[in-house]
Structures are given as C-alpha cells and as structure tokens.
Structure 1
Amino acid sequence: MTQRLPPSLTPLDTALAILLRGVGPVAPVELPLAEAVGCIAAGMPQLAACPPRDIAAVDGWALRANDLVGASSYSPLPLSELPVWVDAGDAMPAGCDCVLDAGAVEVSGPLAQVLAEAAPGQGVGRAGGDIAERSPVAMEGRPIDARALLLARVADVERLSVRRPRLRIVNVPGATATMQTITGLARAAGLDVIAHEAGTREAASIAEALDVSACDLLLTIGGSGVGRADAAMTALAQRGAEFAHGLALQPGRTAAAGRVGKVPIVALPGAPGPALAVWFALVLPLIDKMAARQPRRQVFLPLARKVASSVGIAEIALLAEEHKTWMPLAVGEWPLHAIARADAWLLIPASHEGFAAGEPVDAYLMRE
C-alpha cells in the first residue's frame, strides 16, 4: 500500500538550516578513557616523549657501532673490556648506540670478542620513538578511537577532554528495531544517549516523554506519518514544538525537523531505511556541529553503473565497493538486504538528475 504523505515537502537544505540555526559546539567534558571512545576530542593533552630516553629494544649486549667495524664470525674482534648486558626496556649505557644479540658476542672469563657488525640504532628504541615530545593523544575534532586510547594508556593519562552531545530518543511503540539501531549508531558516534519508550502510541503518552530539559538534541522514532495511528506530530505540537513535517528526501519523506524551545528535534520514521536516511542527511550534520567534528571522510570512486534520480527531491543511494568502483545497491527505497551490504551512501541533491556510469562521486562511508 502506498504511504500517504504530508501535503507539502520541505527542501532538505531548508530543514537542515532550521536545525543548525544557532547551534554551536557543546562544552567539553572530561571522561575516563573507556567512556571517551567515539567522542570527539577537545583540547587534548600534550604528551611527554616516550620512551623518555634511548632504551634497549631487545635483550643483548650494548655496544658502540663504530667500534665493531669489520667484525665477523671469520674475523672476531676482541674487546678491550666486557660489554654491558641490557634487557629490553633498560636505559642504554652512556656511549652505546646499538644492541647485539647474545650469540654475536663470545665471553670467556674476562675476555670477550664480537662476531658481527652493527649499525647505529640497531636494537635500540630511540627517545620519542613511540610518542614524540608534545604529541596530542588525538587530533582535536576527530573521534577518540582505540589508537588514541593506546597512546593515553602508555602515557598514564586517565581522562580525556571530549565533546559529548546529550541525545534523548523517544521511541513510539512498534519501532523497536529501528530505535535499537539508531541508539547503537548514536552511542558509537560518542553521544550521551538516553532512550525512552512512550507508554502507548497515543499523542498524550508520546508528549509526556518529550522532555528536553536535559538534552542537546531530541529524536522521536516512529509515528511520523499521516496514518490514523501516527501521533508523533500531534505530540510535538502539544509540547509547543515548531517544526516542518514532510521532507523532500527519499527515503525519509514523512520525517520532520524543528525545535522545542532551543533544542533541535528530528522525528524519524519507524521503518529502518527511512530512519537511517534521515539520520545520515540531517542528524549527523547536526551532531558534527555540536561536537565540533572535523569533516567526515569521503571516498572518491567512479560509479559502476548509472544512478538516476528525480529532480525536486533529494535522494540517497546506497553503494558497495566493488573492484575500485561504487556499485549502486538502492536509490530512494532501501530494502534491508541493501542496507546490510552497503559500504557507503551518496546524497543526490534535489537539483540533480543523477550520475552517469563511470562518473566519479564522493560517498560517505557507512562506518569510518
């Protein structure tokens, strides 16, 4: 059955401008490392050099490389004094710049001879070789990931300053799978998420859950259509929200965007495909501005085949990478199997008729 639509559709650019108006970065907060994963770095501490001095990278004999020129198993080089044995991690003795394996030095009582040459730095971990002096844990405006946590832990940093927008999700009964998906994406993006399920699909029950007192962004999921059981728009109106219902976006035409007071709100459809499309097209740019995130990565590849689009409505295509090209999987309507296979998504502006086969396009990765 064809879904009924709102009487008019708001251009995607207009809806995004409504959401972004007056929105700035949220204040940084300090979080323990485990809670900072996925959040956007803000004011990262500058680390001390690691290691702070030259150290032995392997177990062996600490020596000076210039003293070993010509040494080999056929022409052992006698040493005037016994070399110093070092374990991996030990500070290098003064004057030594290499570490030879145990078998490269023969020791007999007070006498020692070397059976191999070495290059300066062989077997040595240089000062600052792991972490350069005054390096940041992560680049400001980029997500905190496992690599950043590794640096922080090595440097004994226990907390990081991040931007973590607070998101409240209100789920209308019947859209649980979509709510769980969006909640997972939001937490992976570093948001502080509170998910709440409305008691019923009635407008009064939904309106009761629309509390914006402790959030930076409010999402509703489900009930955004114009069917008899769709009451999300009525609930938003009851809470005094100002919003545009119906977007010139496919999938996602029954979504809405606006504000409750100063808090931006986005009403996502209950179906997974339209909800994800609205998440990509509207919610991610809003989150990025709140978190002061650097631009997301795009991958520039030619299309394996033509992508057609209708002028007047923005459409999002799902793409899979195949043989260094983008293979279109779905445009406008997103079956679940296409969502599962997709590596990237491509926004086709409302003014555009699509892209020809072989034309290079910039697509956003589904997972960075």
Structure 2
Amino acid sequence: MSEERTHAGFKRRTRLAAARERLLAAATPHGRTESVPLSAADGRAVAEAVTSSVDVPGYDRAAMDGWAVRAEDTFGASDRSPAALRIVGGVGDDGNDGGESGDAVGPGEAVRVDTGAELPPGADAVVRSEDGEARGDDLSVFGAVAAGENVGERGEDVAAGDAVVEPPHWLRPSDLGLLKAVGETEVAVAEPPTVAVIPTGEELVQADPSPGEVIETNGLTVSRLAERWGAAATHRDVVTDDADALAAAVGRDTDHDVVVTTGGSSVGDRDLVPDVVADAGEVLVHGVAIKPGHPVALGRVDDTPVVMLPGYPVACIVGAVQFLRPLLAAVGGFPADPPPTRRATLTRKVRSEPGVRTFARVTLDDSDDELGDEPGESGAETEDGDAAPGSPDTTATPAAADAESATTATTETPAVTATPTRSSGAGVLSSAARADGWVVVPESREGFDAGEPVDVELWEVGR
C-alpha cells in the first residue's frame, strides 16, 4: 500500500497545482506529425509554422467602386467647386468601364474601377462612386481624396515573410482560408496522441444491472472527452478487481501515449490500481486536495503516463478535466488553453473546505435576477470516494494556487446568474450532465456567498 494512504484515508493530499506539475514533468511530447489537405485540417493542431511566400493581395487594389485617380488632381475639390477630370478607358454615360484594366492614369485623368480591381498605373487613390459624377468622358469630383485613400495596398492582408500560423494553435476555418490565400494546399498537423481508457471494478456491467451491479459509464465519458480534446481513444472492456488482471491490462496498453484507468484508485480493499502501477513503475501522486476527486492517482509505467481516476462519475470527470486534458496537450503538442468561462452572479452560497479546491456544479440563467440564500445551499462534497479528508499537502503555495484558479470575485454584478445544483455528490452523474459548468473555489477560500460574481468554467464546451 502506498505510503500516502491508509485504510482510514489519505495521510496527506497534494495540492492541484503541484500534482499537475509532477504529472506534466513525466510527460514527453510524442512529436509525430502528418500533412493533411486543408479540407481535413479544421480542428487539428498545427505542428509546423507556415510562412507566406507571397503578398496578399499581390497588387494595390481598389477598396471601393469608383474612379482611380491621382490624389493631387482632386485637392481643393468641393460641392461648389468640383475638380474636373477626364475619364480614360472608354467609360460611357452609364458609367460602365469599357477600357482595359491596364489603362494608365495620367495628370487630370481618371479610370473607372470596381472594388477589388487592380489599381491602374499612375493612380494612388480612388474617388468613391457617390463622390463623383460622370458625363460622357468628363468626371466631376466633389471631394478631395488623399494618397492611399480607398486603396488596399499590396500585402495589406499578408506580406511575404509573414507567419501565417504557428504552433501550438488549433486550426480554425479562418486559418484554413488564410492558408489557401497564400497558396498552401496542405498543412502539417500533430498526430492525435493515443489514449487507452480502462474501466475497472467487479461490480460494473454494460447493461441490465442486477442488485449490487452498476452500469459502466466512466469509460465512455472519459474516452469521448479525450477525443474531444484531440486524442485517439481506445475504450477497453471492464477489468475486474484483480491485481494480475489489472497489471496485464495496464502493461498491454503502455504502447499508447497515455493510459487512463477509472475506479479502484482510493483506499479500500478493492482499490488495487495504485499498487499495481507502483509495482510496475512509479506512483507520482496519490490523493489530491480537490473536491470531488480526492482519490486521483498519477504515475507512469515504462515511461507512459498513467492517470488513475476515481470511480465516482463526477469525481472522474473533474479528474479528467484537471489532469488528462493538460496531459494530452503536453503529449500531443496542443495549445494548453483553459476552458472558456462565463461571468455570473451566484444565487446561493457555495461552501468549500480550506486548503481544498472545490468544483461546484452550477446551472446558468440569463433571465433570473433574483438573488439570495435558499434552503439546501451548496456545501462541500461528501461523496468523493475518499474515506477521510486528511490534511492538504503544502508543497504549492496558496498564492500559486489562487493564481491558477479561474474564479475571482469583483464588485461588478453580472446579469447572468449561476445556481448550484441541488445534488452535489460525486456519484450523482446527472448533476454534471445537467450543469452548464462549475465554479472553482480556490484553496484560500471557504466558499463564495450568494450575490458574489464568479467565473463559471464551461468545461464541456471548450477543448
């Protein structure tokens, strides 16, 4: 049994920041890349910088419909005293251009141009259609233009030598359009890291549970989260609580970039996974100061990181977001952007244990502006899969932990409200499925009061 735990609970719990740091220190980027067509690159992580070899646009162009002119020929023009220019290029009374795009503009001359057309030689500005009046070959200009006015310069969009995309970056449709604009047809992207997800527990079944049995959900949830975060996940069959079977399953999958187990990570007689990993490799952390999710364990076998998640579904999800998500970014060479957040005002108090980071599930409402305490206010988690809270590890300073937290209190009062879910147990999966996100209470706080503005982390919306 790990020296970090006893049958009564964990001797100590490592703070989140320190636990994550130990895990990421054991991760090695896989470095595998592939070139894919732009049409297949949306949502992939760019692996190599792309520099434009061309200017976009490749010429000075008209930014407005109108007439290309020399700006100096319009100086002093006004409604009362318009500048008189001669239209060249065969423009008739209807104003349509009958000339060629190569028509040059000389002193006192103008050439009809459409938006996006190449600026004729000699011109340095464009008079808008509404600022001029053509009659035959004569053009009256009712307002002066400066050099460069209504003109898109060569390289205005992208100049030759500019970086178009650089890693780490998730490619978006706008990036793909820009890559095509500079002449690229393919782009180098990171290969998805491979993840084996191994559900464990002798009580787990896939369907039709008998008394004492539970339908296995964590494997499906975690593997789909891993896919959403850019990995290629393999969802394995359930492995029973047997040390030899667990050792064989973990050893089989160390050819993956990451191994994830669900269940069997706490301190009970059937919680064998941490000891199995310790025998085959190394346990880096066992017991983390988060709620829900105390029983998270982190290790490695044959240089493959192993994330051991609790069996309670919500604790499993919290552990996956906090550890698997950043691990996949480190291994796959992905951007490590935090999940998006939304500012909201709490409708009820959220409580937290000092020294523990709490993830309180909430629902958001854009219309409810009624604040105040209600019966059944949200408290600290009580169903965490952890037999006893123990004492937090102090290897991470409170300042560092607070800096990492997404939740801050300010004097502003957002119109959107956040209501803690009624069911807060770590085993109540519906409380996560029905929530819009969670409020993160840092280790230095004992909670947030009703009416406080907070950041709601939309963990299931972003990568």
Scaled by the length of structure 2, what TM-score is found?
0.62
- Give the match for residue 358 of structure 2: 315
* One of 25, 31, 40 as aligned partner of 1:27: 31
Shift, 1:271, TM fit: 4.9
Change in Cα spacing, 1:327 to 1:145, as seen in structure 2 (3 Å) is same
In the alignment, the residues of structure 2 paired with residue 232 and residue 61 of structure 1 have an alpha-carbon distance, to the nearest angstrom, of: 80
**How far 1:265 moved relative to its partner?**
0.9
The separation in 2 between residues aligned to 1:114 and 1:206, in whole angstroms, is 86
- How big is the shift at 1:281? 1.9
- What are the equivalent positions in structure 2 for 1:145-156 lying under 5 Å apart? 145-156=172-183
Contact 1:100-1:118 at 8 Å conserved across structures:
no
Aligned with 2:134 (options 95, 106, 112): 106
Determine if the alignment matches structure 1 residue 189 to structure 2 residue 232: no
Answer yes or no: is the 8 Å Cα contact 1:6–1:254 preserved in 2: no
> For 1:242-280, what per-residue CA distance to the aligned partner results, in whole angstroms no more than 9, with x for missing partners?
435554432223443211121111123455422220022
Pair 1:198 & 2:241 matched: no
Shift of 1:218: 1.5
Matches within 5 A, 1:167-316: 167-172=194-199, 174=206, 177-191=217-231, 193-198=232-237, 201=240, 203=242, 209-210=249-250, 211-222=252-263, 233=273, 236-237=276-277, 240-243=280-283, 246-290=287-331, 291=333, 293=335, 296=338, 304=346, 305-311=348-354, 313-316=356-359
User: Aligned partners of 1:185 and 1:119: how far apart in 2?
Assistant: 56
Offset of residue 295 of structure 1 = 5.3
Corresponding residue for residue 348 of structure 1: 442
Residue-by-residue CA offset, 1:40-65 (whole Å, 9 max, x unaligned): 44542222432132112345432234
Note closer, same or farther for the CA distance 1:159–1:74 as it changes in structure 2 (3 Å cut): same
Q: Which residue of 2 aligns with 1:327?
A: 418
CA deviation string 1:181-214 (max 9, x = no partner):
43343333333x1323226647566655543454
Residue aligning to 1:8:
9
Q: Alignment partner of 1:152: what SS?
A: helix
Shift of the 188–75 alpha-carbon distance from structure 1 to 2, 3 Å rule, reads: farther
Moved more, 81-90 or 319-328: 319-328
1:280-316 CA-to-partner distances (Å, cap 9, x unmatched) read 2222332343336455377695853543112354322
1:64 to 70, 75, 96: 70
Structure 1 residues 286 and 19: CA distance shift in structure 2, 3 A: same
Residue 93 of structure 1 and its aligned partner are, at CA, apart by 1.0
Tell me, yes or no, if the aligned pair for 2:263 and 2:311 is still in contact at 8 Å.
yes
Q: 1:70 to 1:23 in 2, by over 3 A?
A: same
Conserved in 2, the CA contact under 8 Å of 1:196 and 1:209? no
Q: What amino acid is aligned across from residue 187 of structure 1 in structure 2?
A: E
Equivalent residue for 1:117? 143
Question: Could you give the per-residue CA deviations for residues 60-103 of structure 1, whole angstroms, max 9, x where no partner exists?
Answer: 43223442356678766442342333344332112322153399
- Please report how far the alpha carbon of residue 360 of structure 1 lies from its aligned counterpart in structure 2 after TM superposition: 6.2
CA distance in 2, matches of 1:107, 1:180: 73
Q: Specify the code of the residue in structure 1 equivalent to 2:126.
A: C
Which residue does 2:61 correspond to in 1?
55
Residue matched to 1:80: 86
Q: Residue 258 of structure 1 aligns to a residue in which SS?
A: strand
- The alignment partner of 2:86 has SS state of coil
SS at 2:23's partner residue?
helix
Equivalent residue letter for 2:222: I
Deviation string 1:80-136 (CA, Å, 9 cap, x unpaired) is: 34233334433211232215339944252xx22235436344543232332355433
AA in 2 matched with 1:8? G
- Is the contact made by 1:171 and 1:198 (CA closer than 8 Å) also made in structure 2? yes
* CA-CA distance at 1:358 after TM superposition: 5.9
- Indicate the percent of aligned positions where both proteins have the same amino acid: 27
Q: CA 1:158 to 1:320, structure 2 compared with 1: closer, same or farther past 3 Å? A: farther
**1:212 touches 1:263 (CA, 8 Å); kept in 2?**
no
2:418 partner letter: M
**Offset, 1:233:** 2.1
Aligned alpha-carbon RMSD (Å) = 4.2
In the alignment, the residues of structure 2 paired with residue 180 and residue 105 of structure 1 have an alpha-carbon distance, to the nearest angstrom, of 69
Query: Runs of 5+ in structure 1 lacking a partner?
Result: none
2:407 corresponds in structure 1 to none
AA in 2 matched with 1:112: D
Q: TM-score, normalised by structure 1?
A: 0.75
2:111, 2:117 → 1: CA distance?
A: 11
Contact 1:50 1:130 in 2 (8 A): yes
